[in-house]
Amino acid sequence: MRVNNENYLSIWVDDNEQLKIINQLSLPHKFEVTILHNFEEVVASIKNMLVRGAGLIGVTAGYGMWMLTKEAPKNSIESFESYIENHADRLRLARPTASNLAWAVNRQINKIKSGSTIEEKINLARNEAITIAEEDRNACYQIGQYGLEILRNLSIAKPGKVINILTHCNAGWLAFVDYGTALSPIFLAHDEGIPVHVWVDETRPRNQGASLTAWELATHGVPHSLIVDNAGGHLMQHGMVDVVFTGADRVTLNGDVANKIGTYLKALAANDNNVPFYVAFPSSTIDFTLNNFKQIPIEERSGDEVRNIMGKLNNGDLAEVQICPDLTPARNWAFDVTPSHLITGLICEKGVCPPSKFGLQNIFPEQFNE
Ligand code: MRU
């Protein structure tokens, strides 16, 4: 995606083999590239949300595993591999809900095991990290194409009228390597001349909608309006939403979807108002081992994220302010689950399918071979 007339990915390795990310904590007020020098910094970048979003968390973990191979002791293959196994859990546990994290770590461990010398293992980990990133980028492009078809059809049904899309949190290119999932079709539709307008949920407590989705849309010139998280139902009741597109952090075999807290309420409102509700994600977000959404680990983050809010002061300085009484405690669940019966369709890199085991099996048959 283009920022200040330059093409960017959300994570990349530069010509000096340095791992670089766009620091999402600085957006939307400052565009800042940060170098991750070692495994510890990779873990911290995921935990503290310099990088975030299921796809990007997985890709960053892939690179983190490569760093780990470079830092592991080289005296014997046994000590090299046990160092990696022991440290891999630190990455896996950095954020518990997004499937992509453990998926990328496990994929790297298998790849590293397949090398016969330490040097080969390090090279394999480097190449696999790059492959994971490329796959993520390609998947998001394909998701964009499938979602675009949905927007084209909505536009045909409403000739000359603006298509209003509601989205929650940030499932744009910052949450992946490029393009994004929920936002990918919107960028493509806009580029193709389909008149679109996006209702952006601010997404309390960390405001990924206000700070990241709005920034991506503004940077790309896509018409959008920021709304409070509670406005969606009202807009749907008044015919002001044609479709909802969200991302996902973990999808079960039955097509239930864990996503940013508040997604479930949007799905309920969409269902009550016959507004189609689509969830877009790459296959790395599907947990092919889970039937029951109650087994999805839901991250609970610090209550301080609810008690305080960060913003720009009139003088341009950034500041955090407290919005509740000093003694009021807060709870902060980061995700909720939208059950499949509230979802119209799942948009993946292999196509759009019904939110069910049968639907997923149809587009990912290889995952269901006994
Ligand atoms: O806590 P985050 O910002 O990492 O969570 C990401 C989400 O839950 C988003 O809803 C996103 O849509 C999922 S797609 C990467």
Provide the residue type at 273 as one letter.
N
Cα–Cα distance measured from residue 295 to residue 22, given in angstroms and rounded to the nearest whole number: 32
Please give the DSSP secondary-structure letter assigned to residue 9. Answer: -
pLDDT level of residue 5 (50, 70, 90 thresholds): confident
Q: Does 249 qualify as catalytic in the annotation?
A: yes
DSSP assignment, residue 162? P
CB 36 within 8 Å of CB 42: yes
Q: Which of 57, 95, 101, 170 to mutate to test the pocket of ligand 1 (most atoms within 8 A of CB)?
A: 170
CA angle, 334 then 260 then 225, to 5°: 125
Distance 5 CA to ligand 1 centre (A): 27
Angle at 203 between CA 343 and CA 268, to 5 degrees: 30
Distance CA 221, CA 187 (A): 9
Q: Residue 370's pLDDT band (boundaries 50, 70, 90)?
A: low
pLDDT tens digit sequence for 252-286: 999 999 999 999 999 999 999 999 999 999 999 99
Give the number of the atom of ligand 1 that is nearest the alpha carbon of residue 258. Answer: 8
- For residue 222, the model assigns a pLDDT of 98
CB 247 within 8 A of CB 182: yes
| Residues 182 and 172 sit within 8 Å (Cβ to Cβ) | yes
* β-strand pairing of 196-201 with 163-167: parallel
Give the rounded percent of residues in the chain with a pLDDT score beyond 70.
Answer: 100
Assigned architecture for domain 2-135: Up-down Bundle (1.20)
Cis ω for the linkage preceding 28 (within 30 of 0): yes
The domain 153-368: what is its CATH number? 3.40.50.10470
- Encode burial over 124-137: b for 16+ CB neighbours within 10 A, e otherwise: bbbebbbebbebbb
Summarised one tens digit per residue, pLDDT across range 214-237 is 999 999 999 999 999 999 999 999
Contact at 8 Å (CB) between 55 and 282?
yes
pLDDT digits (tens, 9 = 90+) for 68-82: 999 999 999 999 999
Name which residue sits closest to atom 5 of ligand 1, judged by CA: 53
Average pLDDT over residues 203-217: 98
Indicate the domain borders of the chain.
2-135, 153-368
Q: Which atom of ligand 1 is nearest to the CA of 248?
A: 13
Q: Using CA positions, which residue lies closest to atom 7 of ligand 1?
A: 260
pLDDT band at 292 (very low <50, low <70, confident <90, very high): confident
- Whose structure tokens read 């998280």? 229
Return the ligand 1 atom nearest residue 203 CA. 10
- Ligand 1 nearest atom to the CA of residue 334, by list position: 1
Return the pLDDT at 369: 72
Q: Which residues line ligand 1 (CB under 6 A)?
A: 52-55, 169-171, 175, 181, 208, 246-249, 259-260, 334
Instruction: State the SS3 of 326-361.
Output: CCCCCCCECEEEECHHHCCEEEECCEEECCCHHHHH
pLDDT band at 1 (very low <50, low <70, confident <90, very high): confident
Q: Is 83 helix (H, G, I), strand (E, B) or coil?
A: helix
Q: Give me the amino acid identity at 220.
A: H
Say if residue 326 is exposed, middle or buried (CB neighbours under 10 Å; 0-12, 13-18, 19+): exposed
Choose, from 178, 249, 256, 287, the residue flagged as catalytic.
249
Q: What is the pLDDT of residues 305-326, one digit of tens each?
A: 999 999 999 999 999 999 999 9
pLDDT at 368 over 90: no
